[in-house]
Structure 1
Amino acid sequence: MAPNMNSVLVVLAIASLVSVASAISGTATFYTKLTPSACFEGRNEGTMVAAASKSIWENGAACGRRYRVRCTGGTTGGVAHPCRGGSVTVKIVDLCLDCQGTIDLSRQAFSHIANPVEGKIRIDFTQ
């Protein structure tokens, strides 16, 4: 017997709510010089990378973790609608000691989800 279409829709709706509920809110900034130093001995890990703030660093346990990051809004008011939609997955390759956000994205990763003119955005992220 085939599943009822309404049942399938209810399951999909619940699954999407669980995903949204498990996301963590924070802020993201970006950097332009890709010189990771705290993880991977400075090896090039590509451009979709990020540095972790102290709040998610966990004494280096964050190295190599991948986070899906989604822009939820601006913080500076520099751009009326800074978010581009969608999300980006980044790999933690460094520690950001003086971060002004939760995650310091590479410029390429930031540009994928938001207009860089904004400089700092509100985000939801999941591991």
Structure 2
Amino acid sequence: MVKKTILSVFLVATFASSALTPGSVVQAQQFDDPPPYRHEDWRDPPPPERHHHHHNGSAIAGGVAAGLIGGIIGGAIANGGAYEPPPPPPRCWYESRPVQNEYDDGWHNERMRVCE
């Protein structure tokens, strides 16, 4: 019950923080065509204008990293955060034990596996 409550609080906090984050400003820019060149102009034309990149990759990478780390922490909380090692295997050995014959009610020894 507590695990489900904590997990649901984390999920609500994650979605609420993403909904309340303000969006970035969008800028409209006009790029005019370069002026026409005369055919007698022997020089190379200037390089084309470059679009501005606002370097938003770090914000995206930060969001992805936060989501992964939050998922790891939330998964650990949901699983109780404790690891129980498997029980040790039983100690076993072989002994020679007497066994009754099925046909003549006699006895003989058979090697049997005995475990604690």
- The two structures have a TM-score, normalised by structure 2, of 0.24
Q: As a proportion of its length, which structure holds more strand?
A: 1
Answer with 1 or 2: which has the greater Rg.
2
Q: Which has the higher helix share?
A: 2
Higher relative contact order (CA 8 A, sep 6+): 1
Structure 1 length as normaliser, TM-score? 0.22
